[in-house]
């Protein structure tokens, strides 16, 4: 099994489902400057806790800056037995261009 790539418009639709999980794997400073509403910032310090707390059967969308690093991260979650994992093509930069109202600080 492997992850799926998802467009930002399909990701926006999927995020309307309350069970969808969203993970931001950019650096902490970038996350603080702006992220998709509801995103959890993941780094080496909280990754294991996220794996333990997250629902492995609920959709999980992972994003980075441009949609490249998120692909290897998505594969990592598939290997951790998450069943519905997506890497968001275009990353936060493309999201911000299309959905600026959903890209603020929390």
CA angle 13, 11, 49 (to 5 degrees): 120
CA torsion angle for 88, 25, 83, 22 (degrees, to 10)? -70
**Selected catalytic residue, list 64, 73, 85, 88:** 64
Task: Indicate if 40 belongs to the active site.
Answer: no
**CA 12, CA 29: separation in Å to the nearest integer?**
23
Q: What is the DSSP string of 7-69?
A: -HHHHHHHTTSTT-EEEE-S-HHHHHH---TTPEE--TTTHHHHHHHS-TTS-EEEE-SSSSH
Write out the catalytic residue numbers: 64
């Amino acid at each position: 099994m492997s992850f799926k790539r998802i467009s930002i418009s399909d990701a926006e639709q999927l995020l309307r489902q309350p069970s969808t999980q969203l993970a931001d794997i950019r650096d902490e400073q970038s996350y603080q400057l702006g992220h998709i509403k509801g995103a959890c910032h993941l780094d080496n310090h909280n990754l294991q806790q996220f794996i333990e707390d997250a629902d492995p059967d609920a959709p999980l969308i992972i994003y980075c800056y441009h949609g490249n690093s998120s692909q290897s991260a998505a594969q990592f979650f598939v290997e951790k037995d998450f069943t519905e994992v997506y890497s968001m093509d275009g990353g936060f930069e493309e999201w911000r261009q299309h959905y600026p109202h959903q890209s603020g600080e929390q």
